[in-house]
């Protein structure tokens, strides 16, 4: 097929869903182009190995951010999947949708069709939830949402601590109530990672009207007379062109979608000219408004040998891998995750703006064996994310070469509000682990360490250690004003035949993880692109809106 109706750039969380939905009725010829390769590696499939997958250079983009001026000029790695399934093939698989107020905020800003009641049916359409069908969950979609076993050594103590601090224990973080503690759901299917490649694309790729081309880097969008008509791409040094009769849809993710628009002459005029690119459509917002969840971490030495570190002894790991491979069960089929909470930083907040996560292992963990390598110790770690940050960053071009990485800077901790919030996050983690019975799980605080106490010490620690939650969004923001890149139909302003459909279109990062929202955005976009009537809005109890 040399010509197609739709060309989708990027087979990630959004792109695979689009490829499935746009090709489903067989009436349209669809081409899905992906810079990375196949996703058949065990490290991708095994849930326990997710950090290893995220760090594997062969399947990731290897982006290193620009020096962060308000965070000690540190350059941070920004992990992104370069593989079928995109970042859904390397992520932590936690299923979380954000808060109703996120979407109601988009709608209130003039983005018709994006209220929580209107997007909920699209979350449900994609989902096959272990809970069965309900007002909040679907059970007929390709995306398996499952539950992992809780850790008996830590979970009861964490939940009792949450209760002692006045929080509820929730069974469902995506239901009617949003503030509380519990164990999240995961996109794990029969013990294996449920990426969008596996759950949406694998079946769809059998259709004769869908072509999937991997190892193809899209270099620019072809534009004729104000309309996107195709893309120029390369594979193994060979340049090629593909034509789209109806639309080009950019689903390259929050770093690569703005990069591709800029490379195609769509963006701030001066920035384009500085790279020797003639502006085709002047859109000052391309690459701006970049956001992520700032994240702090507190690491504890556990009070006994009950953490996951015990499982990292080589012989046990080998058994875990074998068991997982043969049966899809055991520790390999889950995450070393102890519990999480969504909480409000103040009672004035309508919805939680802190995500608190406890793992029964730390990032220092590594395999060990007597006589080979000593264990790092028995650790617990508490991570806390600021869900509604105020600092904004940008993605810009470093070079007009499509093979060069873009310049990524979040301006983390630029705003005073974020700096104070990050210090409060550390205080929250400490307060939680100073409360019984969680206090009995720990022996000592390893990081930041007991010496870091005063406001100045906390602030210095934050600047030296703040990281992101790996949830970058909003660099091709949907909106109605001058800085908007796409409109409420996800059409790039000022051009025909071009949309952006991925996490980059969120006007503001949602208060939760971003994979399910990227999938929802693609579900909704598919109906828009096919000209279908949107799914009817959910009828929600009053307490659930806004
Ligand atoms: C380590 C890590 C852990 C995470 N954990 C979670 C979690 O537990 N739960 C959760 O909800 N979210 C999590 N996330 C975030 C979530 O996975 C992402 O927000 C989501 O996958 C983004 O989807 P996307 O479609 O916007 O982009 P992506 O999934 O990144 O897709 C973009 C695709 O486009 C391809 N591409 C880009 N440019 C080009 C080009 N020029 N030509 C061809 N192809 C191109 C890329 O290779 C990629 O496949 C995590 C992220 C990371 C990095």
3-state secondary structure 5-57: EEEEECCCHHHHHHHHHHHCCCCCCEEEECCCECCCCHHHHCHHHHHHHHCCH
Q: Which of 306, 437, 317 is nearest to 48 (CA)?
A: 317
- Beta carbon of 260 within 6 Å of any ligand 1 atom: yes
Q: In the numeric block, which tokens belong to residue 216?
A: 């193809």
pLDDT band at 544 (very low <50, low <70, confident <90, very high): low
- Model confidence at 543: pLDDT above 70: no
In testing the pocket of ligand 1, which one of 8, 12, 38, 524 has its CB within 8 Å of the most ligand atoms?
Answer: 12
The stretch 187-202 carries a mean pLDDT of 98
Facing residues of 468 across strands? 294
What's the 449 CA to ligand 1 centre distance in angstroms?
A: 34
Say if ligand 1 is within 6 A of residue 513 CB. Answer: yes
Cα-to-chain-centroid distance, residue 368? 31
pLDDT band of 545, cuts 50, 70, 90? very low
Whether residue 194 has its Cβ less than 6 Å from ligand 1: no
- Which residue, by CA, sits nearest to atom 45 of ligand 1? 10
Nearest CA to ligand 1 atom 31: 12
Please give the pLDDT value at position 230: 98
Q: Is the distance from the beta carbon of residue 293 to the nearest atom of ligand 1 less than 6 Å?
A: no
Reference 497, options 279, 234, 266; nearest CA is 266
Ligand 1 centroid to Cα of residue 80, in Å, is 5
Number of neighbouring beta carbons within 10 Å of residue 271: 17
The residues carrying an active-site annotation are 471
Handedness of CA 90, 92, 96, 101 (dihedral sign): negative
List pLDDT tens digits, range 481-533.
999 999 999 999 999 999 999 999 999 999 999 999 999 999 999 999 999 99
279-284, Cβ contacts within 8 angstroms, sequence gap of 24 or more: 280/223, 281/492, 281/493, 281/494, 281/495, 282/494, 283/485, 283/492, 283/493, 283/494, 284/482, 284/483
For 97-147, the pLDDT digits (tens) are 999 999 999 999 999 999 999 999 999 999 999 999 999 999 999 999 999
Ligand 1 center–CA 516 separation, angstroms: 11
Return the residue whose CA atom lies nearest to atom 49 of ligand 1. Answer: 86
Render pLDDT for 276-302 as a digit per residue (tens, 0 to 9). 999 999 999 999 999 999 999 999 999
Tokens for 324, please give them. 């997982």
Closest CA relative to residue 471, chosen from 87, 34, 48: 87
Specify whether the CB–CB gap between 112 and 517 falls below 8 A.
Answer: no
Say if residues 60 and 81 touch (Cβ distance below 8 Å): yes
The whole-number pLDDT of residue 546 equals 38
Cβ neighbours for 222, distance < 8 A, ≥ 6 positions apart: 228, 229, 230, 231, 232, 241, 243
The answer to whether the bond into 464 is cis (omega within 30° of 0) is: no
Is residue 363 over pLDDT 90? no
CA-closest residue to ligand 1 atom 24? 253
Q: State percent of the chain over pLDDT 90.
A: 96
**Model-level pTM?**
0.98
Between vectors from CA 135 to CA 356 and to CA 23, what angle results, nearest 5°?
Answer: 95
Which residue has the CA at smallest separation from atom 37 of ligand 1?
252
- CATH numbers and ranges of domains, the chain: 1-62+78-94+193-291+394-402+471-537 (3.50.50.60), 149-182+294-386+414-465 (3.30.410.40)
- Whether pLDDT at 539 is above 60: yes
> Which one, of 390, 391, 389, 387, lies nearest residue 353 by Cα?
387
Return the percent helix, strand and coil in the chain, to nearest 5.
30, 25, 45
| H or E stretch at 526 | helix 515-529
């Amino acid at each position: 097929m040399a010509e197609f109706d739709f060309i989708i750039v990027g087979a990630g969380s959004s792109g695979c869903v689009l490829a499935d939905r746009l090709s489903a009725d067989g009436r349209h010829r669809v081409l899905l182009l992906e810079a990375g390769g196949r996703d058949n590696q065990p490290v991708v499939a095994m849930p326990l190995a997710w950090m290893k997958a995220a760090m594997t250079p062969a399947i990731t983009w290897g982006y290193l951010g620009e020096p962060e001026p308000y965070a000690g000029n540190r350059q941070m790695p920004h992990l992104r999947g370069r593989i079928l399934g995109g970042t859904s093939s390397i992520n932590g698989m936690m299923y979380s949708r954000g808060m109703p107020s996120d979407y109601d905020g988009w709608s209130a800003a003039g983005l018709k069709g994006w209220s929580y009641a209107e997007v909920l049916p699209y979350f449900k359409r994609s989902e096959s939830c272990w809970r069965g069908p309900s007002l909040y969950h679907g059970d007929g979609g390709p995306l398996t949402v499952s539950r992992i076993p809780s850790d008996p050594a830590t979970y009861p103590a964490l939940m009792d601590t949450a209760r002692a601090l006045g929080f509820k224990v929730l069974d469902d973080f995506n239901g009617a109530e949003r503030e509380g503690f519990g164990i999240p759901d995961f996109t794990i299917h029969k013990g294996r990672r449920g990426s969008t490649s596996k759950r949406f694309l694998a079946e769809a790729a059998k259709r004769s009207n869908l072509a999937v081309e991997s190892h193809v880097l899209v270099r620019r969008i072809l534009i004729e007379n104000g309309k996107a008509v195709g893309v120029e791409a390369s594979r193994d040094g060979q340049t090629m062109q593909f034509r789209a009769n109806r639309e080009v849809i950019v689903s390259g993710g929050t770093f690569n979608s703005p990069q591709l628009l800029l490379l195609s002459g769509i963006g701030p005029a001066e920035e384009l000219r500085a790279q020797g690119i003639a502006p085709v459509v002047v859109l000052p917002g391309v690459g701006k408004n970049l956001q992520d969840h700032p994240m702090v971490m507190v690491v504890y030495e556990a009070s006994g040998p009950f953490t996951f570190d015990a499982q990292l002894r080589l012989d046990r790991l080998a058994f875990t891998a074998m068991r997982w491979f043969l049966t899809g069960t055991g520790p390999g089929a889950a995450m070393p995750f102890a519990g999480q909470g969504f909480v409000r930083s103040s009672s004035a907040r309508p919805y939680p703006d802190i995500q608190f996560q406890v793992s029964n292992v730390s990032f220092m963990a590594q395999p060990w064996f007597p006589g080979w390598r000593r264990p790092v110790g028995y650790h617990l770690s508490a991570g806390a994310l600021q869900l509604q940050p105020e600092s904004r960053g940008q993605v810009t071009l470093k070079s007009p070469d499509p093979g060069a990485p873009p310049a990524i800077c979040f301006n983390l901790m630029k705003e005073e509000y974020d700096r104070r919030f990050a210090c409060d996050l550390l205080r929250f983690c400490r307060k939680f682990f100073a409360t019984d019975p969680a206090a009995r799980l720990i022996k000592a605080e390893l990081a930041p360490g007991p010496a870091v106490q005063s406001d100045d010490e906390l602030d210095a620690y934050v600047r030296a250690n703040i990281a992101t939650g790996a949830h970058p969004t909003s660099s091709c923001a949907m909106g109605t004003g001058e800085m908007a890149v796409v409109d409420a139909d996800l059409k790039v302003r000022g051009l025909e035949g071009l949309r952006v459909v991925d996490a980059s279109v969120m006007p503001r990062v949602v208060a939760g993880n971003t994979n399910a929202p990227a999938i929802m955005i693609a579900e909704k976009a598919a109906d828009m692109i096919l000209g279908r009537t949107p799914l009817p809005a959910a009828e929600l109890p009053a307490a659930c809106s806004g």
